Amino acid sequence: MKGIILHGGHGTRLRPLTHTGPKQLLPIANKPMSEYCVEAIRNCGIIDIAIIIGGIGSNKVKEYYGDGSKFNVNISYIEQDEPKGIAHAINLCKDFVKNEKFLVFLGDNIIQKSISDISKRFESSNNDDALLLLCEVSNPERFGIADVKQNKIIKIMEKPKNPPTNLAVTGIYFLTPKIFNIFTRLKPSWRNELEITDALQMMLEEKNIINFEMITDYWKDTGTPDDIIHANGEVLKNMESYNSGKINDDVDIANNVMIGSGTNIHNNSKIIGPCIIGKNCEIGPDVILGPNVSIGDDSKLSECNIQSSILMTNCSIMSKIKIKNSILASNSKITVDENTDEKTFLLGEGTTLSL
């Protein structure tokens, strides 16, 4: 089998975070969200992966993943000149896939449980033309939805106003080369895109077999800042504690906390897990972190209180301020002249904010 990761799009709902790079490189627990896709595909025994790139920061994707060797996979890149839909992006991979079955991940989808067993079943099946991962959601109108009757998918639709079920079609698809024939006959939607849901519905109408498996663990389509912060907390709580840094004697640590090498936690600070702190950070004095906080490498914090937030690399907050439900992109700096009320921020890369 082959693997495909869609790494394009403009990430408009995540601006200003995505003004300087693709949303799929935004970190969850100090690791780009698309890296979780690479790991999930690799854990299925798939080592040949194509990454579809396009839009802002495509070069950053190539710089991070390279040829894939540091992730124990083989990565090639396919350019999508403009966002024409998921089906269009997958169709660009026809020569890469050839006659093999393949697994597609949208690069902003986070799952916690291995899908290796599902992958093996699909690979060995002689009947399934596609297999979808479905997940119950509370807001089905935001997603492609599968109508399921008697354990069979009978219809697939994109963001219906009155969803017949709450079963979202996640951005994880097991497909066979049959789908490429469908793509050649697909018409653009009202968004002028070739929709994967339309292609799957055509497969159903033409009596192809589309099976499904339910995700009953955790799945998140990280399309908004709130989604990213929520996913960050969910990933953090399943990590095991480690400490590769130095902690002063009067620092209070609770629950699972992960501390990178070269990091110093200074006096009168409190770290409440789940919380991850990257490498070469200076934390404290008088800092409260957590729960559900990620601090990127080379960051410097003192006197601040941070909860349910993500700070990327080389961030600096050296003032008395309480921050909650925030995302600060790399090289952000906040200074405060006097103590302030609780704040929420969404800061793009290189932002300097004085209050």
Residue pLDDT, tens place only, 252-271: 999 999 999 999 999 999 99
Report which of 234, 225, 231, 257 is spatially closest to residue 244, judged by C-alpha positions.
257
The angle at the Cα of 107, spanning 292 to 79, to the nearest 5 degrees, equals 145
What pLDDT shows up at residue 11?
A: 56
- Residues of the chain scoring pLDDT < 50: none
Beta carbons of 317 and 297 less than 8 angstroms apart: no
Beta carbons of 18 and 9 less than 8 angstroms apart: no
As a whole number of angstroms, the distance between CA 287 and CA 269 comes to 5
Element (H, E) at 24: none
What pLDDT shows up at residue 55?
A: 74
What pLDDT shows up at residue 178?
A: 95
As a whole number of angstroms, the distance between CA 235 and CA 113 comes to 11
Structure tokens at 293: 């906080």
| Domains of the chain, first to last | 2-235 (3.90.550.10), 239-354 (2.160.10.10)
CA distances from 153 to 100, 103, 165, 200 (A): 24, 19, 11, 10
What pLDDT shows up at residue 23?
A: 82
What pLDDT shows up at residue 165?
A: 93
Report which of 160, 171, 191 is spatially closest to residue 83, judged by C-alpha positions.
191
What pLDDT shows up at residue 13?
A: 63
Residue with tokens 């995505």: 18
What pLDDT shows up at residue 20?
A: 67
Output the pTM of the full model: 0.91
